[in-house]
Structure 1
Amino acid sequence: MGLDVIGILSLLVAILSVGATMGGLALRGISNLKNDLTKRTDKLSDQIESVQKELRDELKGEIVGLRDELKAEIVGLRDRIEAVRSETVETRLAMSDRVARLEGSVFGMPLPDTGTDPA
């Protein structure tokens, strides 16, 4: 009976030592996987930040380009508006002159600012 107890205890000790060894290996494996996953996650985060920065820079460049194009378009429109305004003023002056000439010829009146005397 003494040998049976010693045999059973030896068997239990062997099982426990194997189990402890396997558990230790499993914990080490889990730790290694965790570290590997952390490294990969950090690397992926860095890549995401890099892509975000690139996209931000590209968008800034595009926005600056569009803003400059819009400024140029606005300047062009202002120039065109000024040209139309000038043309309108010239047309008004020409029409006023024609009306004055017509009035002068119909009513026998001198043109304004000509310095001529109707008499």
Structure 2
Amino acid sequence: MLDDQVGYLLRLAGQRHAAIFQAHTVQGLTPTQFSTLVRLAENGPCSQNQLGRLAAMDIATIKGVVDRLRQRGFVRTAPSADDRRRHIVSLTDEGARALDRMIPAGRVITEETLAPLKPPERRNLIKLLRKLG
């Protein structure tokens, strides 16, 4: 019965992916840190709240991720010119270099995660996961 529960199966798949990610990560980036850097590279500087929405993280989570990335020198924050209460997050040169090293690893991670599936199954899984997200 448990083997037919979607939550259980998603958790197993998530654990498998997390182990693969950890084996290939560059500079100890976590999946949430990697996602944050990718979204910054794709969208440019943005508010911390907007970045959280782009990376699918709640306010508390993105704050912690940004704090850790800032401590590592991968991002910088500055008060917004429009609203001093809002912080604008931007990628540093160091963050861009870390991301450049991580992007190829991300492709390997995806490939290994999906390795048990045939190409049509991979495409279907990605399509279905996008529908669920």
Given the two structures, how large is their TM-score scaled by the length of structure 1?
A: 0.22
- Name whichever structure is richer in helix by fraction: 1
Larger Rg: 1
Greater fraction of residues in strand: 2
